[in-house]
């Protein structure tokens, strides 16, 4: 199989999986087997593309032309393969987790759930491998629409309200800001292809470029830079596997991934550095980091706390990308991976706690560490990664982002990072402390760990968070290609 | 026979209509009408191919050369529109059988099909002809057929809807006729090509200006430009479903085409946008219409009426494209004429299927549709996404070109208006989708609509997706048509 075939199959596999899952809805075991097989084969295919990329194969497929000069086309580069690896790899783990969660909570409409999940992965793969902005936009919308039934899964008034906010913000911003931004690029550059070094230089007046940048920054609401972040807490009404894979990994990373792609391949870092007031994007993201952490401090619901933590962490990536130093671009790319491992672990533990004990609030977690030792140990690892303490994944990326800040003498970034570390510690450490060292308040219900499939899944992602600290060499090598080698 | 194609599109239904009217029962009139509309579609497709291969086709009626005789003149713009009209008629006819049986009744069926044929032939005639007075004749044929068809609606309010459209439509037709009369006085010809040649010499005469104003106003009444749209919501709401589908998809589009023909071919873009303040008049009306009609449609309890208001809004997009006066804007307008025909046809037919099973098209009838009538529901969802302009649907393609045209001119406020319109569409489509998806079905035992309704619906839904992905055909033709039209005058 050539890498190009594999590339096309990464899109067809989840689509075919969705159809088969839909057809086998009446037999839950068969349905879940198909989900698993689809997830595994998707991961294998992405690895095949990675091998092709590393071997220097010429990878690129154009399916058909939609507008003159722009078609539906796919290719790959270091950033996209990283995103695809994370999304497809963690889908395997999440599927294992979801089987336990969905059965453990007796959810309704499970077939629809798995179908939409597969479709969301189809969207994520399309976003990852798109070779131009039009293709990216199409799959970006696929991702939005396919996750709407997942967010509103419960179907009650709260879920509907959450779904409305979710779809409302994501759709509005993508149509009102992102789409005109894309058409504007097309109007001035005549192309939408992702080209290293960008396509805008010399095509756009300096002042217009600032507006265009802001259109992208707020048009890609999936990156959740304030004030277009509200959809993410709203999406927390979804079942936890959705929050874990989609709203900590696939959907939100599609957002920051899009922004990074736009910075590197549409504007080009050199051109963007010459755009006046470019640093406004850095300040916006920096503000989001601090503001989201402050809001997270005051949250009592575990999932909402994690959502605000995600908003802050996403803006790390945006801030690093927009800082435009070579090290910070690398840091941004690595943080896509590092945050994914840590945050999915945290969501897995939140879901495990819910399934085992029906607890949803931070204040209820006193002493739970001894009932659910694996879960809470994993929580601790995930939380440490959020803070950025070695030996966890979060430390690696933070290292590069700080190195980038020093490269440019950008002390704003530095101060934001230090403050945010302190705030993260302030809302995560007490939870860990209380879980292990405070006595249980009231004996509500005797419980142990969640079902084994969930515990296995969260142990796997927690180990990944640790392992990434020690074995990040291949990822680093790959991502340094983004800035043309280690600076 | 190939050389007679331009007239066959019109003649075949014209000959069939009286025969259909004389038939008995429901089946035979239906069968004959369906076959005739398929034949007309075949002619239209062949015409389009011929235009692509050979350029403009000129057909002299009965061999009488213009200006003594009437000539038909087919170029890219009207060839595309003929395919749209006959294509829509070809899916509506098979669809009509069950829906008409229920909504109109068997004994009135022959008359119904005859009127439907007359409607579609009237629209084709207006499109194909190269004679300004002939346009009026076909306009009246299609209008009279429309009044009859609307009045056949089950709801008694259909009668008043029909009557008010009759009054408004007649005023529009009369205005048009007065305008033509004034031009005839000045030029001595009714042939479009001759008019285009003779008008520049006398363009500063006030009679010509008056004629221009009468014609544009008259046509704008027929194409339901805000604030001349008041006849439309009732007419669409109370007509039988099959009629709404055909009317909503094609009738106003043909009026748009006539407007384009007069503005660009006959008067020429320099006159229309230079000597006359056409852009200054049309743009505010289009913008207000677009935003107000979209807003009004959000609150409609009847989904058919909601889509009717949405049609008024979509006309706003098209008129915006025309009013830009550039090749890009015109391309966008022509694309949206075709694409909006596809989406509205599909949506109104979907509502017809709901009507057939649920007996109404109110929001309450849509509750829980995802479970009781999944195929109908998903057809509505895809049609709705197309209306919003989501990628991979036709709505995206036309909106893309419209925004591109606005950016090209640097009209940023217009870009914002277009996007705001899309957002309002998200709200009014979303409302229905939410009801269908989460609502509790009033009667969970209702079944999916029969195949003879669903197949035509899904053919159109498929077209919505197909032309959203493979845009070569539509965009290329629209671009070629816009280039022809922008050249002004008539291509010999």
Flag if A175 and B391 touch (Cβ within 8 Å): no
Shortest CA distance from B394: residue in chain A: A66
pLDDT digits (tens, 9 = 90+) for B20-79: 989 888 888 899 999 999 999 999 999 999 888 888 888 888 777 777 788 888 888 889
pLDDT digits (tens, 9 = 90+) for B278-294: 888 999 999 999 999 99
Q: Given A72, A149, A176, which is nearest B419 (Cβ)?
A: A176
Flag if B419 and A180 touch (Cβ within 8 Å): yes
For residues B41 and B33, what is the distance between their CA atoms, to the nearest angstrom? 12
ipTM computed for the complex: 0.81
pLDDT digits (tens, 9 = 90+) for B385-411: 999 988 888 999 999 999 999 998 888
Over its C-alpha atoms, chain A yields an Rg (Å, rounded) of 21
Flag if A152 and B389 touch (Cβ within 8 Å): no
10 Å Cβ neighbour count for B281? 16
Flag if B407 and A179 touch (Cβ within 8 Å): no
Distances (CA, A) of A286 to A64, A229, A399, B187: 40, 14, 17, 70
Q: Which helix (H) or strand (E) holds A62?
A: strand A60-67
pLDDT digits (tens, 9 = 90+) for B353-365: 998 888 888 888 8
Contacting residues of A for B415, CB less than 8 Å apart? 180
In this prediction, residue A243 has a pLDDT band, given cuts at 50, 70 and 90, of confident
Report the residue of A180, A203, A218, A221 to disrupt the B interface, i.e. the one with the largest count of B CBs within 10 Å.
A180
Contacting residues of B for A203, CB less than 8 Å apart? none
Q: Given A72, A172, A184, which is nearest B407 (Cβ)?
A: A184
**Going by C-beta distance under 8 Å and a sequence separation of 6 or more, which residues neighbour residue A467?**
none
CA distance B407 to chain A (A): 7
Note the pLDDT of residue B492.
Answer: 40
Give percent above pLDDT 90 in chain B: 49
Per DSSP, the residues of B408-458 read: HHT-HHHHHHHHHHHHHHHHHHHHHHHHHHHSPPS-TTPPPPPHHHHHHHH
- Comparing A482 with B213, which gets the higher pLDDT? B213
Class of residue A154 by CB neighbours under 10 A (exposed 0-12, middle 13-18, buried 19+): middle
Flag if B400 and A67 touch (Cβ within 8 Å): yes
Residues 464-483 of B with CB under 8 A from A: 469-472, 475
Flag if A67 and B389 touch (Cβ within 8 Å): no
Q: Which of A345-349, A451-455, B342-346 has the lowest mean pLDDT?
A: A451-455
- Comparing B270 with A122, which gets the higher pLDDT? A122
How does A383-400 read in b/e, with b if 16+ C-beta sit within 10 Å? Answer: bbbbbbbeebbbbbbbbb
Note the pLDDT of residue B444.
Answer: 77
Contacting residues of B for A176, CB less than 8 Å apart? 416, 419-420, 422-423
Q: Given A67, A152, A180, which is nearest B471 (Cβ)?
A: A67
Q: Given A64, A171, A183, which is nearest B404 (Cβ)?
A: A183
Q: Given B389, B404, B438, which is nearest A187 (Cβ)?
A: B404
Note the pLDDT of residue B491.
Answer: 45
Report the residue of B332, B390, B393, B435 to disrupt the A interface, i.e. the one with the largest count of A CBs within 10 Å.
B390
Contacting residues of A for B392, CB less than 8 Å apart? 138
Report the residue of A176, A191, A218 to disrupt the B interface, i.e. the one with the largest count of B CBs within 10 Å.
A176
SS3 B359: coil
CA distance A118 to chain B (A): 19
pLDDT digits (tens, 9 = 90+) for A155-172: 888 888 898 899 889 988
Report the residue of B391, B414, B439, B480 to disrupt the A interface, i.e. the one with the largest count of A CBs within 10 Å.
B391
Shortest CA distance from A149: residue in chain B: B437
Q: Mean pLDDT score of chain A, rounded to an integer?
A: 88
10 Å Cβ neighbour count for B163? 15
Cis peptide bond prior to A227, omega within 30° of 0: yes
Contacting residues of A for B436, CB less than 8 Å apart? none
Contacting residues of B for A168, CB less than 8 Å apart? 426
pLDDT digits (tens, 9 = 90+) for A385-429: 999 888 899 899 898 899 988 888 888 999 999 999 999 999 899
**Going by C-beta distance under 8 Å and a sequence separation of 6 or more, which residues neighbour residue B352?**
B95, B99, B241, B242, B244, B245, B453
Note the pLDDT of residue B27.
Answer: 86
Q: Given B390, B407, B430, which is nearest A141 (Cβ)?
A: B390
Q: Are B380 and B304 in contact (CB under 8 A)?
A: no
Q: Are B472 and A65 in contact (CB under 8 A)?
A: yes
Note the pLDDT of residue A102.
Answer: 85
Phi, psi (5° rounding) for residue A64?
-160, 165
10 Å Cβ neighbour count for B468? 26
Note the pLDDT of residue B215.
Answer: 93
Which range is most confident: A77-91, A433-447, B99-113, B429-443? A77-91
pLDDT digits (tens, 9 = 90+) for B204-215: 888 999 999 999
For residues B168 and A138, what is the distance between their CA atoms, to the nearest angstrom? 43
Rounded to 10°, the helix B278-298/B412-438 angle is 20
**Going by C-beta distance under 8 Å and a sequence separation of 6 or more, which residues neighbour residue A70?**
A132, A134, A186, A191, A192, A193
Q: Given B408, B426, B470, which is nearest A187 (Cβ)?
A: B408
Q: Are A317 and A398 in contact (CB under 8 A)?
A: no
Residue B147 pLDDT exceeds 90: yes
Shortest CA distance from B417: residue in chain A: A176
SS3 A301: strand
Contacting residues of B for A141, CB less than 8 Å apart? 390-391
Per DSSP, the residues of B119-188 read: HHHHHHHHHHB-BHHHHHHHHHHHHHHHHHHHHTSSSTHHHHHHHHHHHHHHHHHHHHHHHHHHHHHHHS
Note the pLDDT of residue A140.
Answer: 93
- B134-151 mean pLDDT: 93
- B480-491 mean pLDDT: 75
CA distance A146 to chain B (A): 13
Shortest CA distance from B473: residue in chain A: A66
CA distance A138 to chain B (A): 5
Note the pLDDT of residue A480.
Answer: 83
Give percent above pLDDT 90 in chain A: 38
Q: Which helix (H) or strand (E) holds B207?
A: helix B206-222
Output the six-digit token pair for A379. Answer: 């929580």
- A170-189 mean pLDDT: 90
Distances (CA, A) of A348 to A385, A421, B8: 15, 22, 68
For residues B195 and B184, what is the distance between their CA atoms, to the nearest angstrom? 9
Distances (CA, A) of B30 to A19, A383, B90: 38, 70, 12
Shortest CA distance from A135: residue in chain B: B391
Q: Which helix (H) or strand (E) holds B58?
A: strand B57-60
Output the six-digit token pair for A162. Answer: 């959450």
Q: Are B312 and B355 in contact (CB under 8 A)?
A: no
Residue A449 DSSP one-character state? P
- Comparing A307 with B442, which gets the higher pLDDT? A307
Output the six-digit token pair for B401. Answer: 């070109």
- B118-133 mean pLDDT: 92
Q: Given A141, A145, A183, which is nearest B403 (Cβ)?
A: A183
Residue B95 pLDDT exceeds 80: yes
Q: Given B400, B416, B420, which is nearest A183 (Cβ)?
A: B400
Note the pLDDT of residue A63.
Answer: 84
For residues B472 and B490, what is the distance between their CA atoms, to the nearest angstrom? 25
10 Å Cβ neighbour count for B360? 15
- Supply angle C-alpha A305, A310, A316, rounded to 5: 135
Output the six-digit token pair for B315. Answer: 């006309």
Domain borders along chain A are 279-487
Contacting residues of B for A153, CB less than 8 Å apart? none
Is residue B392 less than 8 Å (CB to CB) from chain A?
yes
Residue B346 pLDDT exceeds 70: yes
Nearest alpha-carbon partner for B150 in B287, B248, B259 = B248
């Amino acid at each position: 199989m050539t890498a190009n075939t594999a590339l096309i199959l990464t899109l067809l596999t989840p689509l075919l999986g969705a159809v088969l899952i839909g057809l086998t809805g009446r037999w839950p075991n068969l349905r879940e087997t198909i989900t698993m097989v689809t997830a595994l084969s998707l991961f294998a295919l992405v690895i095949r593309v990675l091998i092709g990329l590393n071997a220097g194969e010429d990878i690129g497929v154009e399916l058909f032309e939609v507008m003159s000069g722009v078609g539906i086309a796919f290719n790959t580069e270091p950033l996209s393969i990283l995103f695809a690896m994370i999304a497809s790899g963690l889908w395997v783990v999440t599927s294992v987790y979801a089987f336990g969660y969905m059965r453990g909570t007796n959810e309704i409409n499970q077939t629809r759930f798995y179908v939409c999940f597969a479709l969301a992965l189809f969207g994520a793969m399309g976003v990852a491998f798109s070779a131009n902005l039009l293709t990216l936009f199409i799959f970006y919308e696929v991702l939005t629409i396919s996750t709407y039934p997942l967010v509103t899964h419960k179907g009650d008034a709260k879920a509907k309200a959450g779904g409305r906010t979710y779809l409302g913000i994501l759709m509005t911003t993508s149509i009102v800001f992102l789409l005109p931004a894309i058409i504007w690029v097309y109007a001035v550059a005549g192309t939408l292809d992702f080209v290293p070094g960008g396509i805008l230089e010399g095509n756009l007046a300096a002042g217009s470029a600032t507006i265009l940048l802001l259109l992208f920054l707020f048009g890609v609401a999936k990156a959740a830079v304030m004030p277009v972040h509200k959809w993410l807490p709203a999406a927390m009404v979804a079942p936890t596997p959705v929050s874990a894979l989609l709203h900590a990994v696939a959907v939100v990373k599609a957002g920051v991934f899009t922004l990074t792609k736009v910075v590197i391949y549409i504007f080009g870092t050199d051109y963007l550095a010459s755009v006046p007031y470019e640093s406004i994007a850095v300040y916006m993201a920096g503000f989001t980091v601090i503001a989201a952490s402050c809001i997270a401090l005051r949250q009592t619901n575990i999932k909402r706390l994690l959502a605000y933590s995600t908003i802050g962490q996403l803006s790390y990536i945006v801030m690093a990308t927009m800082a435009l130093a070579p090290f910070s671009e690398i840091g941004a790319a690595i943080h896509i991976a590092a945050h994914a491992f840590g945050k999915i672990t945290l969501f897995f533990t939140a879901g495990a706690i819910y399934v085992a004990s029906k607890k949803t609030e931070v204040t209820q977690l006193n002493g739970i560490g001894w009932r659910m030792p694996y879960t809470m140990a994993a929580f601790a690892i995930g939380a440490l990664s959020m803070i950025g303490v070695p030996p966890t994944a979060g430390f690696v990326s933070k290292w590069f982002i700080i190195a980038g800040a020093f490269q440019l003498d950008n002390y704003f970034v530095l101060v934001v990072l230090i403050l945010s570390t302190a705030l993260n510690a302030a809302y995560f450490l007490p939870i860990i402390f209380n879980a292990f060292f405070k006595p249980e308040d009231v004996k509500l219900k005797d419980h142990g760990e969640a079902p084994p499939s969930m515990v296995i899944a969260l142990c796997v992602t927690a180990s990944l968070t640790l392992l990434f600290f020690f074995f990040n060499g291949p990822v680093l090598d790959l991502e340094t290609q983004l800035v043309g080698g280690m600076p | 026979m190939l050389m007679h194609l331009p007239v066959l599109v019109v003649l075949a239904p014209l000959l069939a209509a009286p025969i259909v009217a004389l038939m008995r029962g429901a089946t035979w009139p239906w069968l004959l009408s369906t076959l005739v509309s398929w034949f007309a579609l075949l002619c239209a497709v062949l015409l389009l191919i011929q235009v692509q291969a050979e350029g403009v086709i000129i057909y002299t009626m009965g061999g009488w050369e213009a200006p003594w005789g009437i000539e038909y003149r087919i170029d890219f713009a009207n060839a595309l529109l003929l395919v749209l009209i006959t294509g829509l008629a070809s899916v509506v006819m098979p669809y009509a059988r069950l829906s008409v049986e229920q909504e109109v009744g068997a004994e009135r069926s022959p008359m119904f099909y005859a009127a439907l044929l007359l409607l579609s032939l009237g629209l084709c005639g207006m499109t194909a002809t190269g004679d300004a007075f002939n346009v009026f004749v076909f306009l009246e044929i299609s209008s009279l057929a429309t009044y009859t068809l609307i009045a056949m609606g089950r709801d008694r309010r259909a009668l008043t809807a029909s009557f008010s459209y009759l009054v408004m439509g007649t005023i529009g037709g009369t205005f048009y006729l007065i305008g033509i009369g004034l031009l005839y006085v000045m030029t001595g010809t009714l042939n479009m090509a001759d008019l285009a040649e003779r008008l520049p010499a006398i363009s500063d005469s006030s009679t010509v200006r008056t004629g221009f104003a009468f014609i544009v106003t008259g046509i704008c009444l027929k194409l339901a430009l805000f604030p001349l749209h008041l006849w439309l919501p009732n007419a669409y709401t109370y007509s039988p479903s099959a009629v709404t589908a055909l009317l909503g998809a094609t009738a106003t589009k043909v009026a748009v085409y006539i407007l384009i023909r007069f503005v660009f071919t006959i008067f020429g873009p320099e006159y229309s946008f230079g000597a006359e303040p056409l852009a200054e008049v049309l743009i505010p009306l289009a913008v207000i219409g677009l935003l107000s009609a979209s807003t009004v449609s959000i609150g409609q309890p009847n989904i058919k009426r909601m889509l009717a208001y949405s049609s008024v809004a979509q006309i706003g997009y098209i008129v915006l494209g025309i009013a830009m006066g550039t090749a890009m804007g015109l391309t966008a307008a022509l694309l949206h004429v075709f694409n909006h025909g596809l989406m509205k046809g599909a949506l109104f037919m979907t509502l017809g299927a709901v009507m057939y099973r649920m007996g109404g098209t109110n929001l309450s009838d849509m509750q829980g549709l995802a479970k009781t009538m999944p195929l109908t529901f998903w057809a509505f969802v895809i049609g709705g996404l197309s209306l919003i302009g989501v990628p991979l649907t036709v709505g995206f393609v036309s909106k893309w070109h419209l925004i591109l045209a606005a950016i090209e001119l640097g009209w940023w406020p217009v870009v914002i208006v277009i996007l705001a319109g899309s957002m309002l569409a998200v709200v009014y489509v979303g409302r229905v989708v939410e009801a269908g998806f989460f609502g509790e079905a009033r009667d969970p035992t209702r079944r999916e609509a029969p195949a003879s309704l669903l197949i035509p619906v899904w053919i159109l839904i498929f077209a919505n997706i197909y032309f959203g992905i493979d845009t070569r055909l539509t965009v290329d033709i629209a671009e070629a048509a816009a280039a022809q039209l922008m050249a002004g005058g008539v291509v010999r």
